[in-house]
Amino acid sequence: MSTLIFLDVDGPLIPFGPRPDGHRGPPPHATADHPLLHRLNPADGPRLLALGAELVWATTWMREANEIIAPLLGLPQLPVADWPDDEPPAGLHWKTAGLVAWAAGRSFTWIDDEITDTDRRWVAAHHPGPALLHRVDPRAGLTDADFTVLRAGARLGP
């Protein structure tokens, strides 16, 4: 079984600032509902696929990630993580417990811009398998340096 990669959209794939590499996607993708789609980098899709892990959307975009983001990045339809209705413990990101439950002991990497040390400690205490929680700078989105870390994370184990 390959490693899971839980993938957030806003911040990692759609940065909140201009990409440091100067990349700007084609403006026609932007809509009133999603004005920052021009910040997607179509090269991110093939780079994510090349990691050889099982990609899972872990985003508030939910199924819209498959409808809007996946085609722009050249990604196939991906599974979408569901979120628990329970309030997380104080200081814990609201996605953390749900992703650990989804992984069910499998090794995983979580790519997000809101990961904290509290999340890392909680995962270490509650997840029996290897896990890499990788925080992406939301102003820059995924960079070459991030992909270097992610390539190592994709080899976390069975």
Tens of pLDDT, residue by residue over 58-98, are: 999 999 999 999 999 999 999 999 887 888 887 899 999 99
Instruction: Give the residue numbers spanning the domain of 134.
Output: 4-153
- 105 inside domain: yes
22 vs 64, residue with greater confidence = 64
pTM above 0.85, yes or no: yes
CATH number of the domain at 116, please. 3.40.50
pLDDT in tens, 134-144: 999 999 999 99
- 123 inside domain: yes
- 158 inside domain: no
Domain tally, the chain: 1
Is a pLDDT exceeding 60 seen at residue 133? yes
Is a pLDDT exceeding 80 seen at residue 26? no
Q: Please name the residue that has the structure tokens 């990692």.
A: 12
